Chain A
């Protein structure tokens, strides 16, 4: 796909990517891998990553004894706040590392397929 044919992500997906990149859940290298994927696969991958983050966050809410309904309702808002990860780490040290690790494992598999192609 050359530049003239490049497809662009919907703004919500782009926003989601930037947020993960901002939180350093996606490294520079993995972002490069991400950007080599065709747009539909980028969207699919982002949705997968978002779902994983949401599930992990519900685990935190449950362990904190928070109302899970409220936690889920506020997830999207909180996720967009700059201090989201730092706040989780106050009670769940290692959350970022754990989530980043599983993201990284996923990207390793994606990279293996991409480079073998």
Chain B
């Protein structure tokens, strides 16, 4: 009843006037902040992006502009925007790197927990932070599907046969890892009988996950298997600040192995999964990539180092 009445245009206008009145009150308290929002047409609610960008813009002018006169603010901003665009990018990157370091340190602590799931609050925090950091959406639960562990230990697997007559010498890297005698639990990697580039990449970066121990696997196998087949996931090794995007390509390892995941030779090596610091401990999340735009392979999370290298190289 009430919600229906609230679609009345007059009522909506009245509501907008109330919101605007309060915004005006607060704009008066921080005019420089408000002006900056206007200039950059930032949604007021988009605080994560807005606050970072505001820092960069403010820093260009030498200091926060709020204490200065309006004329001085405009003059300094115009001058700064004309001459210091590169400096702005550098400052912005530095702020992001500092924020990223905080997230990585938190992950380094969380990944040492017993295998299982994170507390809900930590899980939501990491989902959001990792999505921001990686530039694509990651989540512990996707379309109602969730593995038994989002934190665990990843063991090294062998190469998998991509097609019936595949041999180890046809795999271009890490042949010392050997090749499993049987095909992966989700079938051949080839597509329509062709060894496509995507098929090659999938075998290079495959995960083994314990679908066989999912509580509804036996009763709902027919639906679950195609959903998990080549499902894109990301393993994060916070100790070495590296993540690897891969696909579900095999089931396992067995419970008695006391590891929760397996990784292809490429994932283990390039993700530094068994470095002295990591010792196999990873966070494994789904990648929400309905348009298949996220490429497989390793991603460095060490932007602080990249930034330092960039400054050194200038």
Contacts and interface: CB of A to CB of B under 8 A. Distances in A.
Interface of A: 1, 12-13, 15-16, 36-38, 41, 43-48, 50-52, 54-55, 58-59, 68-70, 72-77, 79-80, 82, 102, 106, 109-110, 113-115, 117
B46 interface: yes
Nearest to B137: A11
B55 A13 contact: no
Interface string B277-290: 00000000000000
A110 B45 contact: no
B18 A109 contact: yes
A46 B45 contact: yes
Interface stretch (B6-14, B71-79, B213-221, B240-248): B6-14
Contact of B23 (A51, A73, A77, A114): A51
22 contacts: A36-B2, A36-B3, A36-B6, A37-B3, A38-B7, A41-B15, A48-B44, A58-B30, A58-B33, A70-B55, A73-B99, A74-B51, A74-B99, A79-B47, A80-B125, A82-B121, A102-B22, A113-B18, A114-B11, A115-B2, A117-B8, A117-B11
A67 to B, nearest CB: 8
A73 B95 contact: yes
A107 to B, nearest CB: 10
Contacts of B18: 106, 109-110, 113
B15 A113 contact: yes
Given A47-B43, A48-B22, A114-B6, A73 B55 contact: yes
Interface stretch (B58-66, B222-230, B261-269): B58-66
B33 A54 contact: yes
Nearest to A22: B121
A61 to B, nearest CB: 10
Given A55-B29, A69-B59, A16 B5 contact: no
A68 B196 CA distance: 54
A58 B44 CA distance: 15
A117 B5 CA distance: 6
B51 A76 contact: yes
A46 to B, nearest CB: 5
A12 B45 contact: yes
A77 B169 CA distance: 49
Interface in B271-311: none
Given A51-B23, A73-B52, A77-B102, A38 B12 contact: yes
Contacts of B66: 68
Given A50-B47, A68-B66, A72-B33, 4 more contacts: A44-B15, A51-B23, A55-B30, A80-B125
Nearest to A43: B45
Contacts of A114: 2, 5-6, 11, 15
Contacts of A102: 22
A45 B43 CA distance: 12
A46 B121 CA distance: 21
A55 B47 contact: no
A75 B55 CA distance: 11
